[in-house]
Amino acid sequence: MRITEPDRSFQEPSIISAYPPKHHLEPADSRQLLLKGLYSVVLYLGLGYLLLKRWDLLLVIFGIIILHEAGHFLAMKYYNYADVSVLFLPFIGAFVKGSKKEVSQKQSAVILLAGPLPGIMLGIIIHFLNNGNQSNYIGGVPLQLVAQLLIWANLLNLLPLYPLDGGQLLNRVFLNEEGRLSNIFIFLSIAVIACFAINIKFYILLAFPALLVYRFFSARSSTKLEKQIDQSGIDVDKNFEDLTDEEYWKLRSIVIKHTPAFQQVAAGPPFVYDDKETRIATEVDSVLQRNLLMDISVVQKLLVLFIWALFILLPYLLNIDFLLIRYLYR
């Protein structure tokens, strides 16, 4: 009986990966960031004029805000934050935002203090150079009022209330942004800001506590998402670029399951791109772990506390009266 060898000319087809390449997440378009910033400036100035009815005072306030935000902006750029941009909020002010994988407590202290401190120093310099002279004006605004706005607006921002710079400094550097004490502090900030807004009848300030409450409960609702990611065993301590295709599509399925806006999106398998893929990829990127580097020593914390307290007390130490209300309402 002749035994024939099996025909080996036919080979099993190679296994094709079930996971297509992950969606390419484009970096933020710097032109789009600039346009959004310019749109917010136009909106801020337009609505600000409706409130104040004075271009000279509005432009002075706008300049003070620019100086403040420029301090944050330059510090974040110096520390290599990505997608740094400035947005203006009508009637309230402005904020600088950016992203970084590893957020340093030491760098955060510099960034947060870089906003208010230059304005306070400039205000004090103008105050003493002007020497209380009531005849010096910028446009129709007394120079002494400019000094007062520089000093007190920036001192207000140093108050230990979240999300002011002083509150963020306390929460990130001294409370490590987590735990019961951090939550208590944020809710106390919510209560104080809400009471203040109601007391002075400036109800637009209630947007701050409303946003903080929303963020708090959003964070609580994301606990299930984080728990499922932990159970999946996927290493999220990495950048989006370092995710494998398999990790991306697995994280994508989890994100879709826990995000109401994506409930109509097919999680797979089969794994196919959706019209909302860029938004989905952005959400996947957002669940990757951001590390807070505890790189500030006790001595450095004391130094930060000393600098903060010194600037809070500086107007009193230099005997600078709070004349702002008199200037605004005379």
Q: Please return the burial class of 309, using the count of CB atoms within 10 Å of its CB with bins 0-12, 13-18 and 19+.
A: exposed
Tokens of 160: 């230990």
* Within a domain: 145: no
Look at strands 141-142 and 137-138 and give their pairing. Answer: antiparallel
Q: Is residue 74 part of a domain?
A: yes
CA angle 78/95/92 to nearest 5° reads 155
Q: Residue 82 domain-assigned?
A: yes
Distance CA 321, CA 302 (A): 28
Residue 117 included in any domain: no
In a domain? residue 136: no
Whether residue 67 is contained in a domain is answered as: yes
Judge whether 227 lies within some domain: no
What is residue 326's predicted lDDT score, i.e. its pLDDT? 58
Task: Tell me the two tokens of residue 233.
Answer: 């065993």
Per-residue pLDDT of the chain (330 residues; tens, 9 = 90+): 444 444 444 344 444 457 888 888 777 778 888 899 999 999 999 999 998 888 988 999 999 999 999 999 999 999 999 889 999 988 888 999 988 888 899 999 999 999 999 999 999 999 889 876 777 888 888 888 899 899 999 999 999 999 899 999 999 999 988 778 888 999 999 999 999 889 988 888 888 888 888 877 776 666 777 788 888 888 888 888 888 888 889 898 988 888 888 888 888 788 888 888 888 888 888 888 777 888 999 999 999 999 999 999 988 888 887 765 555 555
- Structural domain boundaries, residue 267: 238-287
Please tell me the total count of domains within the chain: 2
Which structure tokens are listed for 107?
Answer: 């760098």
Q: How many helices and strands in the chain, by DSSP H and E?
A: 13, 6
Residues 255 and 68 sit within 8 Å (Cβ to Cβ): no
20 within a domain of the structure (yes/no): no
At residue 273, the 3 state secondary structure works out as coil
Tokens describing residue 230: 């932990």
* Last-in-domain residue among 84, 100, 116: 100
Please list the residues that pair with 89 across neighbouring strands: 93
User: What is d(CA 107, CA 112) in angstroms, rounded to the nearest whole number?
Assistant: 9
Of the candidates 75, 100, 125, which is a domain's last residue?
A: 100
Q: Residue length, the chain?
A: 330
- Point out the domain boundary residue: 73, 100, 127: 100
